[in-house]
Structure 1
């Protein structure tokens, strides 16, 4: 009994320090609840994914039929499938909201650089996991989406074709491709879960940011019960929102062509990824050169990873930076515009609009953020003197 209590005490002390008595800024609002919602989504995806894997068959001749078997013959299978498929969309909704909140309130600024970087890595792994998961139902969009995206690696000089062959497991997308995608799709959520723990540890090292962007060690209260109730209310609203898609409109966020079995001899008229990839896809196809397009996608994540080091502003929150606040909302509108462009045909005026939207995206991170910070520093110094 004594040994059991000794082993259990460290676990209880960690939970107490990071969940119950964790000092939290008293002025944070409901926008700080998206991190908790992201954690809820991750748990949902892992649990439903495990149960779906019990009935799924990763074989090109049986994958589509096994998904239909889950939907029609497995007790509650339709619920698991719709929860998992729509759960991916919910996950991206809350993570995008979480990141935009971080951008607005400067949560990437010192001393929280590592927290932001881990968050961007998690986003990248989410995109990779969701992409390979989209391939598993082996419908038309699954097959042709995988064909288009994996072929992009061929643009890499010297080793490109070898990478494509390795991804495919042969000289075309076939059974080996589906098997390795299934294995990675099962593994990566646990990697994301591990990085989420690192993300939380990095966050708790310096504490949560707040709407004022001030470093305060005074005006803080314990997480439980105050913010526990706040987050519980957010989870309740989110559950109602999520339930609408599961029970009333489960296919609205997907593509109808994915209910057609994959056919290598029949190319869909318009190949589009899931909605949460569209902004990246719009940047990719706005550049006519394949290698340059792949480089642009790499630059997207390099820009996000470099943001804490590009930032030169002494002020965190956009509430106190009128110019940056305007540009932030332009960035938000630009992301929505790129998502709309990503589902349109590759023709004018959509190509030109996509190119302009891509230019503004990179302008915001690589030009505006460092210049605006230096301008603020100059104005602050000028007023002091």
Structure 2
């Protein structure tokens, strides 16, 4: 669909014309994020988090490359090399704190981005591939973060690697050989550290590649919007630049301000104190927990405390450890099937009054799982984790299909421009972030 304001890219100097004829990269950028890319005019601030995720990835890649120049991937010296970076390398402490807290920054942004997609139905047609590529990025992030957490070779690094790789041993037949292959031995040691370092260095570039695919896939159907109504004509859109580049710039400024507070004032607040003790295979920490962004999945893993067995026979069909591992991975894999689980024709939860209630229950449920994932195992916490894990799967496998079948949604606006320009009532966005984007240009319908 062509729009009156979407002017084609025109090189303005002989040099740029020469480059454009031989390598049309500026033309590609202009069409992807410049004035040639039409964007729905009612995007709220939740649409900033895609750009923020890209910024977080760039920060992690740049700081990671510089840190790798000084890191020593040797089990007998890895911990000391991290300490040397902090003390002897110029601005090493800033690089280390930025990279360390940058992982949490990245995950926090991606979690908000995912919940935005769940709330506004970004997994629905025609954007299924965009959603699935986003989940692939998330899985790659989890693998990268786990291996990066091992590299400082502190107590929690070592025992975290021991516990996490131990999950694979629960898989029948191939589990233990797979674990030995991943570690390069029977326990985390030099081979594991070398492998994890090389993969931790490589995977961010794989994430960057998949991100390019995701942006490419997004530009085919175009961006979604808070109403879930398809773009009908040019009155529904604005050029990405300068309107949304300015809006993203404001979001980047706020995000970097918050990020800087953690770097300079709270650098240790998101880490575990045991990881500032050098790894000792002979001393097990009193309470082994993963980083905060893995807590909900760790709670699902620990929710299974009994084997699946045939009653009164003693025959075990599946041990509790295997059930927990399957549930943990299944909790992520089922997100790939949301398009088929949610059959409602309405994309935005703003117009689905019943499902909106269950959505916020899901958010509360995941918060509870996060709490249980880092808490000590007591009878109360075990029961709470089991109930929360059961609801998580029930939400996607039972509640979502039933609600989408029987719910009566609210009436949608006829078009994006009608809801924005003519004062038609719109449901507010979560947390009150209901900015509808720039509306000063083309305030009157174009002729």
For structure 2, the 5+ residue unaligned runs are 1-14, 306-319, 412-447
Distance in 1, matches of 2:226 and 2:187, equals: 51
2:351 — aligned with what? 320
Question: Which residue among 219, 233, 237 is the counterpart of 1:220?
Answer: 237
Deviation at 1:204, TM superposition (A): 1.1
Deviation at 1:310, TM superposition (A): 1.1
Q: Is the 8 A contact 2:168 2:176 kept in 1?
A: yes
Distance in 2, matches of 1:53 and 1:82, equals: 14
1:271 — aligned with what? 288
1:177 — aligned with what? 192
Deviation at 1:308, TM superposition (A): 1.3
- Does the alignment pair 1:63 with 2:94? no
Q: Is the 8 A contact 2:60 2:99 kept in 1?
A: yes
- Does the alignment pair 1:364 with 2:364? no
Q: Is the 8 A contact 1:281 1:342 kept in 2?
A: yes
- Name which of structure 1's ranges 28-37 and 300-309 shifts more when overlaid on structure 2: 300-309
Q: Is the 8 A contact 2:353 2:410 kept in 1?
A: no
- Does the alignment pair 1:347 with 2:378? yes
Q: Deviations over 1:135-192 (max 9, x none)?
A: 0000000000000000110011111110011011012211000000000000000000
Question: For 2:39, what is the secondary structure of its paired residue?
Answer: strand
TM, length-normalised to structure 1: 0.96
Whose Rg is larger? Answer: 2
Q: Is the 8 A contact 1:314 1:377 kept in 2?
A: no
Distance in 2, matches of 1:217 and 1:229, equals: 25
Distance in 2, matches of 1:96 and 1:227, equals: 22
TM, length-normalised to structure 2: 0.83
Distance in 1, matches of 2:21 and 2:258, equals: 43
Q: Is the 8 A contact 1:313 1:377 kept in 2?
A: no
Distance in 1, matches of 2:259 and 2:116, equals: 21
Instruction: Mark the CA change 1:216 to 1:5 in structure 2 (over 3 Å): closer, same or farther.
Output: closer
1:238 — aligned with what? 255
- Does the alignment pair 1:129 with 2:132? no
Instruction: Mark the CA change 1:256 to 1:313 in structure 2 (over 3 Å): closer, same or farther.
Output: same
Distance in 2, matches of 1:80 and 1:243, equals: 12
- RMSD of the TM alignment (CA)? 1.4
- Does the alignment pair 1:13 with 2:13? no
- Name which of structure 1's ranges 211-220 and 137-146 shifts more when overlaid on structure 2: 211-220
Equivalent residue runs for 1:1-385 within 5 Å: 4-8=19-23, 10-20=24-34, 21-218=36-233, 219-288=236-305, 289-376=320-407
Question: For 2:241, what is the secondary structure of its paired residue?
Answer: coil
Q: Is the 8 A contact 1:112 1:203 kept in 2?
A: yes
Q: Is the 8 A contact 2:346 2:409 kept in 1?
A: no
Distance in 2, matches of 1:274 and 1:124, equals: 15
Q: Deviations over 1:72-113 (max 9, x none)?
A: 000000000000000000000000000101100111111111
Question: For 1:342, what is the secondary structure of its paired residue?
Answer: helix
Distance in 2, matches of 1:118 and 1:209, equals: 16
For structure 1, the 5+ residue unaligned runs are 381-385
Distance in 1, matches of 2:230 and 2:390, equals: 34
Deviation at 1:242, TM superposition (A): 0.1
Distance in 2, matches of 1:132 and 1:273, equals: 12
Deviation at 1:376, TM superposition (A): 3.2
Question: How many residues matched?
Answer: 379
1:383 — aligned with what? none
2:419 — aligned with what? none
Q: Is the 8 A contact 2:351 2:409 kept in 1?
A: no
